[in-house]
Amino acid sequence: MESCYLSCLKLTEEKKLDSIVFCCISTGEYHFPNRKAAEIALNTVLAYLDKGSGLKRIVFNVFKDIDWEIYKSGFTA
């Protein structure tokens, strides 16, 4: 899952875009645990940004109430 986020982040910058939106990858049909998915997403994105990325806006689009609660609670990885 990390590689999916990394690939998307890199491609966004290669295309000279400054923002990207992610959905909750694998938490639907594949039943990956929501909290673990959020942890992977945030850890991966924050690590990428720490390396000096030029991205200005990253949005995590959530569809389920559980995902909204996880992200809204201030969950930090």
Task: Report the topology of domain 2-72.
Answer: Leucine Aminopeptidase, subunit E; domain 1 (3.40.220)
pLDDT confidence of residue 74: 63
pLDDT confidence of residue 77: 47
Question: What is the CA angle 32-57-70, rounded to 5?
Answer: 35
Q: What pTM was estimated for this model as a whole?
A: 0.84
Question: What is the CA angle 48-32-14, rounded to 5?
Answer: 30
Under DSSP, the state recorded for 20 is: E
Q: How far is CA 75 from the centre of its chain?
A: 13
Q: Give me the residues of the chain with pLDDT under 70, please.
A: 74-77
pLDDT confidence of residue 12: 97
